[in-house]
Structure 1
């Protein structure tokens, strides 16, 4: 029943959006897929789905925080992706307003210790999911308003302790650390508004506020990266690089000049609590800054640093200085081919010698109906982080994990694309942890994914 709810989440939203496009045409809106051959528009950009249905971009389709940047640069929060990032979303709009809807549901079975390769392995039928809507509205000739709403039914489909994922850590369940589990995301994962003003084509200023929202810290969150779109698992380095993507209380101010951006945030340092349906207390006790640079349409780079007050409820006296850097590359070539890759680094520094690094290398290669993807991670985690301090003392462990997967597009129904995939994961624990995790834990999963069809732009 829980898995069915996730499927309905995306199917219902997609079908309602597609029906609205088909039944309520207007002369200043984007033609529906069935009208495009009758109503060409010289100021729109056509796109073809795998099933041959024409879809178009609105004539007004800017970046969420700039009238002079492409929508494809949008990422989570106020982060940047490369301009050549493919967009999987439904769109509708006119010459002043653009509406977007995107998301993903994985209906899957996963097991983290296949063949008894790990005593900590576990299996589960589940459905990681999220759905996000966004509206951009032009204000006068130089202003742009944006609003976002992101929800997840993870609390229903994953339960309070999330899904099995060896070496994963972060947040709590029933007052205990979540270890070897990925926590569920909150029902309300983003409720935000923003405004930008274009002084010139090359100069913007913008403001952003979310409750919850995402401060200017880290690479784009994994759910919004095309390099991760076919992998249902959250990265093990999530809490080193992009875990602040759900922050209950954040405010950001920024300036863009040409391809450079400087922004700063104040936000709540405490991670979301165990009640996934409520709105946590806004504290505004932490701050961050981020420098972003897109040297060309294919590249996006960022460096950021956050000073996070008391992120973990089990260690209320511990503050973290998080430093991150990332480089992302995207290219679209041919009719149905694109390649996306990101290299990201994160450092959590709690002081007193507690400095832990994480490196992620993640890519996705789409060619026609097929895709191959991979993820390599190196993460340093303490015995406390893995809840092993009673048996291992105070120590830091170097963890390695490598995943590779295959995904195939099956069909498109209405505005929803159906794909099927599988992922294999090899974990390499250090010698001191092999008695707890096994010599070479192997994970496997198979899934059916529902997501919006891709727009060509």
Structure 2
């Protein structure tokens, strides 16, 4: 059980727990390489602007991870989620991502995701607008260096391509692409 509503904007005035929502998750590892999960949540009034709207959420995912050589691995995830409101309007999201690490220094990764949302453009008179499907695909790599026995420092980069429907292109400047350079610290 948990509080379904998002916290208010006063972050240091903690809201008392309401425990008006609940969730359940089941997972199964049929082999050492496979992990499967499914979940359901009933969330009471999650949005401050629509406190009388409740959500039901479903998710399912499968992860396959395989060792390659003494230090390498390859892992792929397929995930799906659905959010349904009180008006039985459902929005789906999909994700497929994969990462390949031939050794303990390099990781190459790719990700594709597609979601349905009505929260990109406000509706007439406020609230949620029309339902749109947007997508994003990314590819990148990261190189790690050992800086201590249990610590690695990594530098990486990725490139992303975004796809929005024609009705949103004027707001987003077409289908925007983007890149990112990042660093990370991994404690193992």
Q: Normalised by the size of structure 1, how large is the TM-score? A: 0.39
Q: Which runs of 5+ in 1 are unaligned?
A: 1-265
CA RMSD for the aligned pairs? 1.9
Aligned to 1:332: 67
Aligned to 1:162: none
Q: Which runs of 5+ in 2 are unaligned?
A: none
Aligned to 2:120: 386
Give, in angstroms, the shift of residue 278 of structure 1.
5.9
Aligned residue runs from structure 1 range 286-301, under 5 A: 286-301=21-36
Partners of 1:277 and 1:419 in 2: CA distance? 34
Question: After superposition, what is the alpha-carbon deviation per residue over 1:153-174, rounded to whole angstroms, capped at 9, x for unaligned?
Answer: xxxxxxxxxxxxxxxxxxxxxx
Aligned to 2:111: 375
Partners of 1:272 and 1:406 in 2: CA distance? 36
- Structure 1 residues 312 and 295, CA gap change in structure 2 (3 angstroms): same
Helix, strand or coil for the counterpart of 1:425? strand
Give, in angstroms, the shift of residue 438 of structure 1.
2.0
Aligned to 2:82: 347
Is 1:357 the equivalent of 2:79? no
- Structure 1 residues 296 and 387, CA gap change in structure 2 (3 angstroms): same
Q: Which has the higher strand share?
A: 2
Aligned residue runs from structure 1 range 302-451, under 5 A: 302-368=37-103, 369-382=105-118, 385-390=119-124, 394-451=129-186
Q: Which structure has the higher relative contact order (CA within 8 Å, separation 6+)? A: 1
- Structure 1 residues 294 and 390, CA gap change in structure 2 (3 angstroms): same
Give, in angstroms, the shift of residue 333 of structure 1.
2.5
Give, in angstroms, the shift of residue 411 of structure 1.
3.1
Question: After superposition, what is the alpha-carbon deviation per residue over 1:209-268, rounded to whole angstroms, capped at 9, x for unaligned?
Answer: xxxxxxxxxxxxxxxxxxxxxxxxxxxxxxxxxxxxxxxxxxxxxxxxxxxxxxxxx221
After superposing on structure 2, the runs of 4+ consecutive aligned residues of structure 1 that deviate more than 4 Å are: 275-279
Helix, strand or coil for the counterpart of 2:120? coil
- Structure 1 residues 308 and 431, CA gap change in structure 2 (3 angstroms): same
Aligned residue runs from structure 1 range 22-421, under 5 A: 266-276=1-11, 279-368=14-103, 369-382=105-118, 385-390=119-124, 394-421=129-156
Give, in angstroms, the shift of residue 321 of structure 1.
0.4
Partners of 2:88 and 2:170 in 1: CA distance? 27
- Structure 1 residues 365 and 279, CA gap change in structure 2 (3 angstroms): farther
Give the total of aligned pairs: 185
Partners of 2:109 and 2:25 in 1: CA distance? 28
Give, in angstroms, the shift of residue 342 of structure 1.
1.1
- Structure 1 residues 334 and 274, CA gap change in structure 2 (3 angstroms): farther
Give, in angstroms, the shift of residue 273 of structure 1.
3.8
Give, in angstroms, the shift of residue 367 of structure 1.
1.4
- Structure 1 residues 340 and 280, CA gap change in structure 2 (3 angstroms): farther
- Structure 1 residues 280 and 373, CA gap change in structure 2 (3 angstroms): farther
